[in-house]
Amino acid sequence: MKILLLGEYSNVHATLADGLRTLGHEVTVVSDGDDWKNYPRDINISRKPGKLGGILLLAKLYALLPKLRGYDVVQLINPMFFELKAERLFFFYDYLRKHNKKIFLGGFGIDWYWTHTCTYDKPLRYSDFNLGDEVRTDAEAVRYQQDWIGTEKERLNKYIATTCDGIIAGLYEYWACYHPAFPQKTTFIPYPIRMPESPSTERAGKSKAALFIGINRERHAYKGTDIMLQAAKDLHSKYAYRMKLLVAESVPFAEYQKMMDGSDAIIDQLYGYTPSMNALLAMSKGIISIGGGEPENYEIIHETELRPIINVEPSYDSVYQHLEDFILHPERIPELKRQSIEYIRRHHEYIKIARQYIDFYTGKNA
């Protein structure tokens, strides 16, 4: 098949492309590399700052149109698949529909269905937009609500979701928001991860537990890393002789990976039910995820044996308690590392995931 992947989040499309190519398909990734993270792509569409940057990107995309046609499958990372205003994307979406066979929408991140459903319907006990019945009011959550609800982005998202050939959710949370609205065309496929050649179950250090946390300053409070970092810092003050804290702040992907490699555990996603791409990548290396690991995460992938994720509730006290327990019981580390590696092999191995995508594209798992 000839497949076009438009946009990028956290290396999802770049990794999927590798898996699809291994299976013999012709794949083109067109993206901006997810901004400063700089993930691999075949055609770069990074936008320069300001209004002039938008004009230059628009001109580049118009010139690129002939290369965006003739595909069996086009997959959009998000309704906002180019970094332009939503009203401009209707034209590009309609062009893609007209000149390609099938279009699929990724439920991989922030969009109207995620924002509106979590804010008003609240199918999850907690999320980026709600804690129980209470709607979150931190500045970032409010900004995303204002950005998506009652705007052209909402209209674009609904239009694409209604007219596309299928919707693929990458996390349980996104599936819970899309499936009720589009039960016939929504599927869940886990994120693809490329396994390292020799992941280790050995502790990173003999005397200290090494904890790693990645910080994106633009989404610090929204993702809860402010709370998680504070708990980790407070524990480090108390147990400096038993733990090491590694902090990566808004660094490119290659540097992020190197910093992660020397750790026993990654602290990630306070408000998530499931591990994100960064946590999944860490798990493939034998690094334990401390964050989202709710029962629904295991149920949707039919996992009944492995429990490698240290699940935390969305509060400082829960994070502190679970981190302290981890630090004080280092004998648990090798087994949790082993389970983490096996979990990725079973459910996220990139070629296995690529086959699931092909089955969905061709209607075999409908």
Range of the domain at 56: 2-192+349-361
pLDDT of residue 163: 98
Q: Residue 199: inside a domain, yes or no?
A: no
pLDDT of residue 115: 98
In this structure, what CATH number is given to the domain that contains residue 281? 3.40.50.2000
Tell whether 230 and 174 lie within a shared domain. Answer: no
Q: Residue 335: inside a domain, yes or no?
A: yes
Tell whether 10 and 101 lie within a shared domain. Answer: yes
Q: Residue 340: inside a domain, yes or no?
A: yes
Q: Residues, the chain, total?
A: 366
User: Strand 134-135 to strand 130-131: parallel, antiparallel, or no bridges (unpaired)?
Assistant: antiparallel
Tell whether 13 and 158 lie within a shared domain. Answer: yes
Q: Residue 249: inside a domain, yes or no?
A: yes
Query: What's the domain count of the chain?
Result: 2
Report, as ranges of residue numbers, the positions in the chain whose pLDDT lies below 70. Answer: 218, 365-366
pLDDT of residue 205: 77
Tell whether 115 and 130 lie within a shared domain. Answer: yes
Tell whether 219 and 188 lie within a shared domain. Answer: no
Q: Distances in Å between the alpha carbon of 168 and those of 9, 16, 186, 322, 347?
A: 14, 13, 6, 33, 16
Tell whether 294 and 357 lie within a shared domain. Answer: no
Tell whether 83 and 183 lie within a shared domain. Answer: yes
Q: Residue 201: inside a domain, yes or no?
A: no
pLDDT of residue 201: 85
Cα 356–290–207 angle (5° rounding)? 125
Q: Residue 198: inside a domain, yes or no?
A: no
Q: Residue 202: inside a domain, yes or no?
A: no
pLDDT of residue 36: 81
Residue range 188-203, pLDDT digits in tens: 999 999 999 888 888 8
Tell whether 213 and 146 lie within a shared domain. Answer: no
Tell whether 264 and 154 lie within a shared domain. Answer: no
Q: Which helix (H) or strand (E) holds 225?
A: helix 225-238
